[in-house]
Structure 1
Amino acid sequence: MREDHLLPISKKESLLPTPNSRQILRIAINLKELIDTVIPVEFDESLIVSNKSRIINTNVITLARQACGGDISNPSSISKYQAVLIFCLLKVRNWYLSLGDSQLHDYNLYVLRATACQQLCKYIIEEEEDSGEYDYLLINMLCRRYVINENDVDQEPLSALELASDTHALVVIGSSGFQRCQKFLWRGWIIQNRQDPMQYVLAHDFITNTKFWAHFNPERLKCPMYQNALQLFFSVIYLILYTIMVNSKNSSAVQPIDFIEGAFYTFTIGFIFEEMVKWYHVGSYYLNFWNIFNNSTYVLVIISMIVRCISINHLFNIHDPRAIDTLSYRILACASPMIWSRIIFFLDAEKFMGTMLIVVKQMMKESLIFFVLLIFIMIGFLQGLLALDSADGSSDITGPIVGNLLLTILGESSFKMFEEFAYPYSAILYYSYCFIIAVILLNILIALYSSAYQNIVDNATDEYLALMVQKTLRYMRAPDENVYIAPLNLIELLLQPLAMMMKRLNKNDYMVKVMHHHVMTMLYFPVLIVVSIKEVKEAKRATYNRLKRLPPDANELDTPWDLEDGFVDEDADSVFTSNIRKGLKATNAKNRNTMQKQQLAEQEDPYFSVDQAWHENVKNSSQPVDKGCDSGVGWENYAIYEKVCSLKQE
């Protein structure tokens, strides 16, 4: 008997019509008017970013929802327009940041308003999550792509999830509902709509399906978590091939390309092809520091491969092919640090490693300021020293001058040459150069590194969460109907002519999909077995949670303070058993036994238990946070405020 009919159904429609771009623009303008009015002058930022802000209170949240319009008598109409609320607030935040850059006299005010937009997003996400409308929040508010009209031009479709990641909105990204959305995407619980790959739906068929063969499907490899694991696996193989290849040359003679070398070059071509495809689909958003790092590695390998092919090809009439062959291996040897570093990029799902990678990336960005200053200063001194060299009509020591200036940056300065050349003019210039480099510029670089490290460490958790969202979107933003992980994507490329012919003969792509399905099933057979076993166990717990009206990711941890959480999988040893009722009965029995044991242990001493009055006193001892913030006076002043109000009534 299927249990799906017992699953809770959202009160709001799961797939709503999309407002047009002009309607979305009007909602954003309304929200900007609200923020401008609520924050007319510069406040202390703590009044905005506190969890219970007296500025962004319940009244402001209500007005933000009303700014979306819609028919108040029609819940579907209200839901349709309020679905773009997070997206519009993030757009308004971008407007404020742009205004801050163009109107520097009010920069702090615009930044504060941008912060208020983020806080408002956070509160709205939390409200939707508390209401239990997970489908509506995750699919319509966060994952669905919307188009806004700006300056009479419809912008590229973006979701609130993508917009928050692209603009580094850390407050929004750190909210619990946003992180649940990222977790569902990472695990493959939110997937692309089969009819429209630009939209996403909750994968109910996978989340709560406890049948093994339902998960034995190459479609599941679209899940970012599995793609990341497979990429790590192939990267380790790539590293092993490279290690064997560069350490196996034991002769100066030119040897033909063997299996290991051919496999290494095949992997490289597959990785390059994957980069090109993702860059084509995602565009400039895909290009970042780590992609540039990877592409630099591939360039070195390709150059080495071309030189190697030239050395073994007699058509080029090379006089000394052994020298060319040696050159190819030396170029390849220079890629060793970069190829080993590639492994680190797939380990950034761990918080420590991810945070350190963010620090390194930020330091590299900060280094640009140092190198810009260095280049201009170095060119200025270089021109002066070269002019001194050519003052007598001949340039004799151009090379040593350039070499000395470069070595000075590394701390290997030599004063002897400048004491013997054009003295004292060259000595004055060179001493000044050394002072500027060693005392000023290098200390500026150290200060920039220190500042970058401190900023990242102070916001380590938020930065890590933002990194995970970016990592997830790297897999989701490039819609790929057939998931062939590099270098297996070369197989897809070889099948492309056959696929085009089949599509032309059948007038549709059904047979093409069937072909790719069977090919991927054979390629990923061992992986799919592991994935299916893992997901069947998760589906049993997720189904139990949904039967209990809980989100599917609940009860993952059995905490000591909650005596009725956790899940007992009665059929954990059998992945082919799809009956959830055994697990439900076993979990309920475990909870009953735990509560009975706890009650018996507490009743051993009749004076042990606290009375109900203690619980009431605990409730009464809480500060009036909600009332104080809604009133605008703050919880710390609410008692005085309440007293004044009562006196006025008297």
Structure 2
Amino acid sequence: MVKWGQLFGSSRERDSPHLRDEMRRLLPAHSSDLSPSAFPAKEVTKVALRLKYQIEEVIPIELPEEKITAANSGIITKQVVKTAKEAGGTEYAAAVVYCLLVCKRWFKRQAFLELWDADLHNVRAVACEIIAKRIIEGEENTEYLLKEVLLQRYSVWRDGEETSSANVIERAVDLHALTVIGSSGYQKCIKYLWRGWIHQDDKNAGNFVFYSERDNISYWAHLNPDRMRCPLYQNTVQISISLIYLGMYTGAVNTINEDGDLDVVEGILYLMTFGFICDEVAKFWKVGFFYFGFWNAFNNVLYALLTASFVIRIIALAHSPDEDDERRRELNKLGYHIFAVAAPMVWSRLLLYLDTFRFFGAMLVIVKVMMRESLIFFALLIVVCVGFLQAFIGLNQVEGNSSITSFIITAMANSVMQSPEFDGFDDYAHPFGLILYYIFTFVVMVILLNILIALYNSAYEDITENAIDEYMAMFAQKTMQFTRAPDENVFIAPFNLIELFFLIIPFEWWMDSHRYERLNNYVMGVIYSPLLLITAAFEAREAHSVRDNRKRGEEDDDTVEEWEELDSEIDFSADGWDEKVRKSKPIVEVDADVVEIRELKGEVEELKRMIRALSPEAES
């Protein structure tokens, strides 16, 4: 099996202070499961050091970021990009893009350590991404770009040992390198991975290979359970299961059993929930603490509510309907109440599996960043609330009224929700209680809530400006999470219960790996047969397009658009249109003022030659 391991391999790596900026890695991988670096780690590190030196020389002072990112930048010129490509020589040229991402991480780390030069180091980090993007987009050999540059695994030398290997696709997602992720070559690679045209090697999960049957027009060649490793198909299954889960919940919450018995719909719903819980536990066990994220917390709260409802219902069933009828009804009512409270979360959970659609994906990115920004508000709110609560309780101690504590907490909560209540404070430690509550309401409603609005507004503007890049980064992350599956055998929850109770427990511990793998394929073939029958037809049809593209000398995923249909019948050079366009097109590679200065410089040189030709005595 190919399993997720701990986040950073050895404990020495995890404890190193140089890795604190990587503690948010998004693509955990166990070093023992991955292939070693394609090149020696020390040589890769030397290439990265050459690039770091070059970028420090190219950007010696703090410059506006716009000068670095501009398409006609005078800083990151074609010559600079060409020199960067030569940093690896002919032997290690494929590792240059990976080394640029290593340099980006170094500069980000340096910006954190040297705050006085943080802007300079951040600009250099941006330059690393720009150079990497231009190298990727300038590579014409697609197969070399995908297999050697983007998907080949490399390591660097750190603390006297070789780090866990990674490729450019993973490293760009880890570092949230939006510029690199937005490059055309990177997106082509993600597209191939998403469609299953590139997949992990069966013999070595760290290597990626092309799907050899993508041009095979035979239906039966694609009817293979192993194709369920394709992220597109896994995502389709997850969306289908989520819709079924939602339908089951809707049916269960709208059909209350007065006697408290569990019906078939509720039984299936709780069984699916158990499968989801097992999946979360398995991933958390294999990956570690850093697997935990926003959606994991969201799902865990949902599963906790449904589990609590189930346990209470079971306890209610343990009571005899004759002897403890009242107690049974109360427990049943409590169980149904908790069950109904989970409804908003069950519906919201559906968004987790719709993020591959651009509209939902961009929206979820915005919500995620807003939630992260709101942590600042809640940190301030907690400190303020604790301070004022202590003041109110202190006043209450003097008054000797022990029953008013709940009123104070309720009034403070109402103020936070922008519905303050001042009536109860007229006779509470007058006038200090009322004055204190006025101050608390002002701080919360005027200061803190406006801070929260400003944070939300800033986060929204930052994300919407880069909405497309953020969506592509999210999509790349999701694709790699599917690709880095916990096992070679894909059993999506709740089908993981079948794997756990009918395959792993009874067979894995004694059956040889070849027979066990074949058994898994048979089971997956049965489980996913409805989808496989459809996907085989889809892939066979797609194979015709691949063959047509290869006949025309185009890429496998090329599509003929309406503006390309008459390309073979038009010759712009023959009718003179090409010459007219060339004469009238502006020079956009450099700024207009630079073009004019160059023209003026040429005219001055020509004028000097004319003057020298007219006065040969002066020249002598």
Matched, 1:373 2:384: no
Counterpart among 132, 147, 165 of residue 155 in structure 2: 147
User: Match of 1:542, as an amino acid?
Assistant: V
Q: Residue in 1 aligned with 2:129?
A: 118
8 A contact 2:37–2:154 mirrored in 1: no
1:429 CA drift (Å) = 0.8
1:233 CA drift (Å) = 0.5
Over 3 Å counting, the alpha-carbon distance change for 1:24 and 1:17 in structure 2 is closer
Whole-Å Cα distance in 2 between the matches of residues 207 and 641 of structure 1? 57
Matches within 5 A, 1:26-425: 26-69=46-89, 72=90, 78=91, 81-128=92-139, 131=140, 133-203=141-211, 205-251=212-258, 253-255=259-261, 257-283=262-288, 286-313=291-318, 320-393=327-400, 395-425=402-432
User: Match of 1:177, as an amino acid?
Assistant: G
Over 3 Å counting, the alpha-carbon distance change for 1:283 and 1:137 in structure 2 is farther
User: Match of 1:521, as an amino acid?
Assistant: G
Counterpart among 541, 559, 562 of residue 561 in structure 2: 559
Whole-Å Cα distance in 1 between the matches of residues 46 and 156 of structure 2? 9
Deviates more, 1:56-65 or 1:638-647: 638-647
Whole-Å Cα distance in 2 between the matches of residues 410 and 396 of structure 1? 23
User: Match of 1:538, as an amino acid?
Assistant: E
1:190 CA drift (Å) = 0.8
Paired residues in the alignment total 572
Q: Deviations over 1:216-245 (max 9, x none)?
A: 001111111110110110111111111111
8 A contact 1:207–1:543 mirrored in 2: no
1:624 CA drift (Å) = 4.2
Over 3 Å counting, the alpha-carbon distance change for 1:347 and 1:640 in structure 2 is farther
Counterpart among 538, 542, 546 of residue 542 in structure 2: 538
Q: Residue in 2 aligned with 1:639?
A: 599
User: Match of 1:215, as an amino acid?
Assistant: H
Q: Deviations over 1:21-78 (max 9, x none)?
A: 2222221111110100010012232221112322112221222122224xx5xxxxx2
Over 3 Å counting, the alpha-carbon distance change for 1:636 and 1:140 in structure 2 is farther
1:284 CA drift (Å) = 5.2
Whole-Å Cα distance in 2 between the matches of residues 296 and 648 of structure 1? 81
1:206 CA drift (Å) = 2.6
Over 3 Å counting, the alpha-carbon distance change for 1:279 and 1:134 in structure 2 is farther
Whole-Å Cα distance in 1 between the matches of residues 596 and 533 of structure 2? 58
Q: Deviations over 1:517-574 (max 9, x none)?
A: 111111111211100111111111112212332211102xx42221258xxxxxxxxx
Q: Residue in 1 aligned with 2:455?
A: 448
1:147 CA drift (Å) = 2.0
1:161 CA drift (Å) = 1.0
Over 3 Å counting, the alpha-carbon distance change for 1:276 and 1:52 in structure 2 is farther
Aligned with 1:51: secondary structure? coil
Whole-Å Cα distance in 2 between the matches of residues 210 and 177 of structure 1? 27
Over 3 Å counting, the alpha-carbon distance change for 1:493 and 1:637 in structure 2 is farther
Q: Residue in 2 aligned with 1:569?
A: none
Whole-Å Cα distance in 2 between the matches of residues 189 and 624 of structure 1? 40
Q: What TM-score results when the alignment is normalised by the length of structure 1? A: 0.83
User: Match of 1:360, as an amino acid?
Assistant: V
Q: For structure 1, which runs of at least 5 residues remain unmatched after alignment?
A: 1-14, 73-77, 566-590, 600-608
1:320 CA drift (Å) = 1.8
8 A contact 2:573–2:579 mirrored in 1: no
User: Match of 2:127, as an amino acid?
Assistant: A
Matched, 1:523 2:527: yes
Whole-Å Cα distance in 1 between the matches of residues 606 and 221 of structure 2? 64
1:500 CA drift (Å) = 2.3
Aligned with 1:201: secondary structure? strand
Q: Residue in 2 aligned with 1:579?
A: none
Q: Residue in 2 aligned with 1:500?
A: 508
Over 3 Å counting, the alpha-carbon distance change for 1:464 and 1:637 in structure 2 is farther
Q: Deviations over 1:172-215 (max 9, x none)?
A: 11111111111111111110011101221111x23211111111
Whole-Å Cα distance in 2 between the matches of residues 501 and 167 of structure 1? 39
Aligned with 2:564: secondary structure? coil
Runs in 1 of length 4+ with deviation above 6 angstroms?
644-650
User: Match of 1:291, as an amino acid?
Assistant: N
1:497 CA drift (Å) = 3.0
1:638 CA drift (Å) = 4.3
Deviates more, 1:284-293 or 1:375-384: 284-293
TM-align CA RMSD = 2.6
Q: Deviations over 1:59-109 (max 9, x none)?
A: 21222122224xx5xxxxx2xx22222221111111111211222221211
Over 3 Å counting, the alpha-carbon distance change for 1:178 and 1:642 in structure 2 is farther
Over 3 Å counting, the alpha-carbon distance change for 1:153 and 1:417 in structure 2 is farther
Aligned with 1:191: secondary structure? strand
Counterpart among 430, 441, 463 of residue 434 in structure 1: 441
8 A contact 1:311–1:325 mirrored in 2: yes
Matched, 1:478 2:485: yes
Aligned with 2:356: secondary structure? coil
Whole-Å Cα distance in 1 between the matches of residues 594 and 200 of structure 2? 44
User: Match of 1:296, as an amino acid?
Assistant: V
User: Match of 1:384, as an amino acid?
Assistant: A
8 A contact 1:502–1:512 mirrored in 2: no
Whole-Å Cα distance in 1 between the matches of residues 207 and 275 of structure 2? 28
